[in-house]
C-alpha cells in the first residue's frame, strides 16, 4: 500500500516561486541548513531553481556594475 496521503503526493515536486527564490538567495549566501536542503530537493522544481538562479546572477552582476560605475564616476 502507498503510505503517502493524496495531498502529500500532490505537493511533492511543487514549490512556490517565492520558496524557490528564497532557497536560491540563501544558497548564494551559503547559509543553507541540511534539513532545508532536503526539503528543497523533494519539493522544488529544478527548472525553477535554474531560472531563478540565472536571474539572480544577472541582478548581482548588474548591481556590481552599477556600484562600480558610481564609484568611478563615469
Query: Which has the higher per-residue pLDDT, 17 or 3?
Result: 17
- DSSP code of 30? T
Question: How high is the mean pLDDT of the chain?
Answer: 80
Cβ atoms of 42 and 15 closer than 8 Å: no
CA distance 74 to 5: 60
- State the Cα angle at 59 between 56 and 60, rounded to 5°: 85
Domain ranges of the chain: 12-72
12-22 residues labelled b (16+ CB within 10 A) or e (exposed): eeebeeeebbe
pTM for this predicted structure? 0.67
Q: Is the pLDDT of residue 6 over 90?
A: no
Identify the residue whose cell numbers are 548591481: 63
Amino acid at each position: 500500500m502507498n503510505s503517502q496521503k493524496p495531498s502529500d503526493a500532490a505537493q511533492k515536486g511543487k514549490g512556490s516561486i517565492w520558496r524557490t527564490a528564497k532557497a536560491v538567495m540563501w544558497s548564494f549566501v551559503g547559509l543553507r541548513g541540511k534539513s532545508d536542503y532536503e526539503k528543497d530537493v523533494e519539493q522544488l522544481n529544478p527548472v525553477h531553481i535554474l531560472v531563478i538562479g540565472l536571474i539572480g546572477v544577472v541582478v548581482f552582476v548588474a548591481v556590481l556594475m552599477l556600484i562600480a560605475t558610481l564609484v568611478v564616476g563615469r
